[in-house]
């Protein structure tokens, strides 16, 4: 048990927190932020676990995945924010219609 697993468990915690917020909140901006928190948790876990073998340099393959993942996450966030602005512009509120509430 070393710090690597501490970081990985913090990543797991971030993922679960983000998933909870994604389900609970209706506002689209909160949902987008929640997905980003989930992604950050996954990145943290991947980077930490790449270094779990002692006396060896970190495994570069997960690091490369995280680097590409960060840039993809940024562009996906930009696209979803634009979609959210579009929804807010059309309906006046940044939430998806809830069929059950009608």
Partner 1 sequence: MGRHRWLLLPLFVALSVGLSYAVLSLPEHPESLQKMVVDKIEVSGVSNPVTAVLLNFRGYDTLLEMVVLLLALLGVWSLGSTAVRRETTPGPVLDTLARLLVPVLILVAAYLLWVGAHAPGGAFQAGSVLGATGVLLLLAGWRLRADLTTLPLRLVLVAGPGAFVAMAVATLLIQGQLLEYPPAQAGILILILETGATLSIGATLTVLFLGKRPQDKESE
Q: In the complex, what is the shortest distance from the CB of residue 28 to partner 1, in angstroms, rounded to a whole number?
A: 13
**CA distance linking residue 83 with residue 73, whole number of Å:** 15
Region 57-86 residues binding partner 1, contact defined as CB under 8 A:
57, 59-61, 63-64, 67-68, 70-72, 74-76, 78-79, 81-83, 85-86
Q: In the complex, what is the shortest distance from the CB of residue 31 to partner 1, in angstroms, rounded to a whole number?
A: 14
**CA distance linking residue 5 with residue 19, whole number of Å:** 21
Region 25-44 residues binding partner 1, contact defined as CB under 8 A:
none
Q: Indicate the residue among 33 and 85 with the shorter CB distance to partner 1.
A: 85
Structure tokens at 19: 């998933």
Q: Indicate the residue among 33 and 87 with the shorter CB distance to partner 1.
A: 87
**CA distance linking residue 60 with residue 82, whole number of Å:** 34
Q: How many residues does the chain have?
A: 102
């Amino acid at each position: 048990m070393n710090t690597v697993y501490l970081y990985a468990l913090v990543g797991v915690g971030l993922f679960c927190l983000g998933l909870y917020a994604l389900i609970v909140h209706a506002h689209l901006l909160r949902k987008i932020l929640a997905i980003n928190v989930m992604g950050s948790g996954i990145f943290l876990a991947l980077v930490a676990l790449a270094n779990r073998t002692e006396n060896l340099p970190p495994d570069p393959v997960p690091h490369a995945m995280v680097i590409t993942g960060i840039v993809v996450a940024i562009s996906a966030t930009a696209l979803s924010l634009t979609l959210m602005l579009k929804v807010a512009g059309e309906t006046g509120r940044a939430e998806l219609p809830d069929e059950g509430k009608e």
